[in-house]
Amino acid sequence: MSRIGNKIINVLDGVKVSVNGDAVNVEGPKGKLSFPLDPKLAVKVEDGTVSVSRSSDVRTARAMHGLTRAVIQNMIIGVKDGYEKKLELQGVGYVCKLSGKTLSLRVGLANELKKEIPAGLEVTCPDQTHIDVKGCDKQQVGQFAAEVRALRKPEPYKGKGIRYVGEQVKIKPGKSAKA
């Protein structure tokens, strides 16, 4: 029995949840999101709550039960408050800037890296070494932040690279420490 899937979701003020056939639609002040439903699952919206149930105990239905409930919860929070990831660049000469819908990064490589910003995300650079990624879709925000971080991961000897704000990078001792 899925403990997460059986929990009831409370709909926040200003958020509208509707089920039409094979999709759940959530609409709020920050935007609209949609999630396709598995045919083995049923979603009920009543009296400001949402509940997810499954028709059988097939392995795929059990797996999708908790996932669907968690995604709907994240959609409700996302359209109400939104999600945010903050990145920082550490290293001498590491710079980021926005030009239109493109994020340009100079991170110690021979060429400047450019990353297209997908629709639905708001990316800002408060200064040259910080990047803020905001949006209503939790998966999209996390995916874009991970892709930017993957362009130059923090290296373990000096800690230079792109990292999440507050992320601890374990620094290894160099050759001189071993001698």
In order of start, what are the domains of the chain with their CATH numbers?
A: 3-80 (3.90.930.12), 83-164 (3.90.930.12)
Q: What pLDDT, in 10s, does the model give residues 61-109?
A: 999 999 999 999 999 999 999 999 999 999 999 999 999 999 999 999 9
Q: What pLDDT, in 10s, does the model give residues 8-49?
A: 999 999 999 999 989 999 999 999 999 999 999 999 999 999
Give pLDDT, residue 179.
56
Show the tokens assigned to 146. Answer: 């991970």
> For the whole prediction, is pTM greater than 0.85?
yes
The CA distances from residue 155 to 111, 135, 152, in Å, are 19, 28, 8
The CA distances from residue 60 to 2, 11, 51, 65, 102, in Å, are 12, 27, 18, 9, 39
Category of 129 on φ-ψ map: left (φ > 0), alpha (ψ -120 to 50) or beta: alpha
Please answer whether residues 145 and 133 qualify as being in contact, where contact means their C-beta atoms are separated by less than 8 angstroms.
yes
Task: Assess whether pLDDT exceeds 70 at residue 53.
Answer: yes
The CA distances from residue 150 to 24, 59, 88, 90, in Å, are 32, 34, 13, 14
